[in-house]
Chains A and B, each alone.
Chain A
């Protein structure tokens, strides 16, 4: 404790034995943390480690059960986000709260006190964004902006309040490597001005690169406070997950088999004004291969998934081929019957229904493909709960899904555990083709490596696996081939070993490899 007392002195913000209990579950359990003026402080932890709960208490969204928050040494009570802002705390959330149909300036005005003219806000925002290296056109409509630019709006919005402490929640999860570099420059500038940053992230390399100190949380407790630069990625990971993270091994990949999944000049019109149309997408995935599709969010990934899965069939039957048979016009269950499995990006309300138990969520994906096993009563279609429950149990055991109770609602599982179940639900069928969109989005390190290993193993067993991902670490871990999607167009696929991160970054920005010189400064 004495060490902590010392750290509190001279700190901008300190928390002392901060605890938040939900029912009997302590989401944050006696957390100590001190952030000095002018430091970039990392908050590391798996999903469910208590990071969001802690941050919500700091930003006045949740009231602590016990413990103290000290601002410049004085105990304070932060009762609302407004109180936090007044104190000098700004926050950039992981999920942006922006109105797509409004302009940048209008969006910023919404978070400001009423009565300030739009022109003044535009001007201030433009000045501020220039001086921090966050170029932003106040008149642009949010719908037309990339995710990186949208994040800049959020950052500028926070900076306009002139905060002493800025909290960033997983800021780089949606950025290209180039955009992330820009963000780091901005953070360095903020630090030079004496502002503090609380930086929440999964990405160990980043934390080591930019953070001065790190606090690691696990199961709601502080498991480490360190200087990340003195640590190795694996020692940090150990503090986070409590044991060494298993390394995904892609060794011994089987030989290339037949083409099992193919898109031939696949085009699809955008279904909504804010969606992306697919333009002449061609791809081939052989048995034994993992084709990873990299790209920044919102470049046609979901649309590609919808067309490949058959959730939205396309007009041209030949545009999608499963095991060399045209399936473009067939629905998702017809494609499942041909041996394919699908894992969508969004867990809640797409891959799973949160309010329904896991067993029902198993039926969700397999009512037709496993009709014989799961349904009885002929045309009545009576669900055989015993068979479904057995299969649910089997999947949970194989994938190490941790849950409370025998068959809890999907919504009660942590992101990582639910994702393990959703992936396991497909793997349990031994699909010959698996299409996965963002397999480990928002999933903790332990679960992520478990899922990635499962994908690699499936390909090794001779299946064709297509992984759509924004996470380059993940892509290099699992892929044998890599292609990049940008504005609904897919690049050629390159063998994973021939591509560097820089090349992928350029392809993500819409440039063809080899032409980067002329367009490097275009961004």
Chain B
């Protein structure tokens, strides 16, 4: 017997909807086996990992806080990846957005005005966009590889933030802790609903996802992105410029990552610290691919990956397993989603007997 992959004449609509769910189910099965081998009750383990965080209001708020930046960044990355620009440096753009947005509440902390918050958000987007503009410039005009440049700039941003909070921006009244002063009330992104901590950053993420989805689905710009991502030559034939697309996609994703950065700082942390992100910019890459580079899919996958963060924390407490379980689940999920996507383009067929084997192997060799 052998297994044959047979290309479908057309993309299967059924499987393009169901494959993430199949993948999720397979992830749960694999997770159950893993917990069983660890000597834990699989049912209880999965419950405390995936269900328990959803049963309480405060943890739902935590879910939104973690999902917000993941979705916002991943939506921007989806535009980059669809147009064949591999921005890996969203983490750095997130940090630079947070820094640029924090200029007002840290340096000009005496200025109190309702304008502070909107300006901070704009500055955050600008900071992220400008920082993404560096690899964009290098790729568009010097033909460098944006994967390397954008990735390496992440470390530049991290160290720059580190230097700022230990040096010029350190809180004079902060007992020498490496932190900036805490933001004034005008500079804080408010909570969405009174019941918990979740701030407007999650709403920004949903709005951005819907807008980008509309753009990709209905407009010429979205068409341009798709065409240039599939074939630069066909794009040139259509009169689209791949150089302009490098700028557009990198600046857009940088701006969204920057917005995520300033929203996180202003909404959740309310000051700058040496580390402001648990790797949102990198996890967002997984979110983008799990969501199939579709902004609406990204909303769902952003929530799922945020849940694996929460579940990992919960499982650490209730089961006493390592928080590395989070990483395992993220890995399993990515693995199964990518493999289940095969079903969209291929049919799997078990061939019980090889037809050509029935022919006598007479003259061969």
Whether the pair A364, B6 counts as a contact (CB closer than 8 A) is no
Residues of A within 8 A of B220 (CB): 363, 367, 375, 381-383
A462 CB–B CB distance under 8 Å = no
Whether the pair A383, B231 counts as a contact (CB closer than 8 A) is no
Residues of A within 8 A of B236 (CB): 311, 332
A520 CB–B CB distance under 8 Å = no
Whether the pair B231, A350 counts as a contact (CB closer than 8 A) is yes
Residues of A within 8 A of B237 (CB): 309, 311, 332, 342, 344, 350-351, 364-365
* Chain B residue with Cβ nearest A66: B355
Whether the pair A63, B356 counts as a contact (CB closer than 8 A) is yes
Whether the pair B356, A64 counts as a contact (CB closer than 8 A) is yes
* Chain A residue with Cβ nearest B359: A75
**A363–B234 CA distance with the chains assembled, in angstroms:** 12
Which listed residue, B238, B355, B356, B357, touches A364 by the CB 8 Å rule? B238
Within 8 A of A (CB), among B248-274: none
A412-B231 contact in complex given A64-B356, A74-B362, A332-B239, C-beta closer than 8 Å: no
A468 vs chain B, min Cβ distance (A): 15
* Chain B residue with Cβ nearest A311: B236
B365 vs chain A, min Cβ distance (A): 6
A79 CB–B CB distance under 8 Å = yes
* Mask: chain A, 361-381; 1 = CB below 8 Å from B; 0 = not: 001110110000001010011
Interface size on B, residues (CB 8 A): 31
A83 vs chain B, min Cβ distance (A): 6
Whether the pair B364, A364 counts as a contact (CB closer than 8 A) is no
Query: Which of under 10, 10 to 19, 20 to 34, or 35 or more describes the interface residues of A?
Result: 35 or more
B363 CB–A CB distance under 8 Å = yes
Whether the pair B359, A412 counts as a contact (CB closer than 8 A) is no
B141 CB–A CB distance under 8 Å = no
Residues of B within 8 A of A23 (CB): 6, 8-9, 347
Residues of A within 8 A of B347 (CB): 23
Whether the pair B10, A412 counts as a contact (CB closer than 8 A) is yes
A349-B231 contact in complex given A76-B361, A383-B223, C-beta closer than 8 Å: yes
* Chain A residue with Cβ nearest B215: A380
Residues of A within 8 A of B362 (CB): 74-76
**A380–B217 CA distance with the chains assembled, in angstroms:** 12
* Mask: chain B, 310-353; 1 = CB below 8 Å from A; 0 = not: 00000000000000000000000000000000000001000000
Residues of A within 8 A of B239 (CB): 331-333, 336, 367-368
Within 8 A of B (CB), among A310-368: 311, 331-333, 336, 342, 344, 346, 349-356, 360, 363-365, 367-368
Within 8 A of A (CB), among B202-239: 218-221, 223, 226-227, 230-231, 233-234, 236-239
Residues of A within 8 A of B363 (CB): 71-72, 74-76, 87
Residues of B within 8 A of A353 (CB): 226-227, 230-231, 234
Whether the pair B238, A367 counts as a contact (CB closer than 8 A) is yes
Whether the pair A77, B221 counts as a contact (CB closer than 8 A) is no
Residues of A within 8 A of B360 (CB): 74-75
* Chain A residue with Cβ nearest B365: A86
B235 vs chain A, min Cβ distance (A): 9
* Residue among B221, B230, B355, B356 with most chain A CB within 10 A: B356
**A382–B237 CA distance with the chains assembled, in angstroms:** 20
* Mask: chain A, 52-84; 1 = CB below 8 Å from B; 0 = not: 000000000001111011011011111100010
**A404–B8 CA distance with the chains assembled, in angstroms:** 14
* Chain B residue with Cβ nearest A360: B223
Residues of A within 8 A of B365 (CB): 83, 86-87
* Chain A residue with Cβ nearest B238: A364
Residues of B within 8 A of A364 (CB): 227, 234, 237-238
Whether the pair B359, A76 counts as a contact (CB closer than 8 A) is yes
Residues of A within 8 A of B230 (CB): 349, 353-356
Which listed residue, A22, A332, A363, touches B223 by the CB 8 Å rule? A363
**A74–B363 CA distance with the chains assembled, in angstroms:** 6
* Chain A residue with Cβ nearest B356: A77
**A66–B351 CA distance with the chains assembled, in angstroms:** 13
**3 A-B pairs with the lowest CB-CB distances in the bound complex, closest first:** A381-B220, A74-B363, A333-B239
A-B contact pairs, 22 of them (CB 8 A): A23-B8, A23-B347, A68-B359, A69-B359, A76-B362, A79-B356, A86-B365, A87-B364, A332-B236, A350-B231, A350-B233, A350-B234, A351-B234, A353-B226, A360-B227, A363-B223, A363-B238, A365-B238, A367-B239, A381-B221, A382-B218, A409-B10
Contacts A336-B239, A367-B223 supplied; 4 other A-B pairs, CB < 8 Å: A69-B359, A75-B359, A353-B227, A367-B238
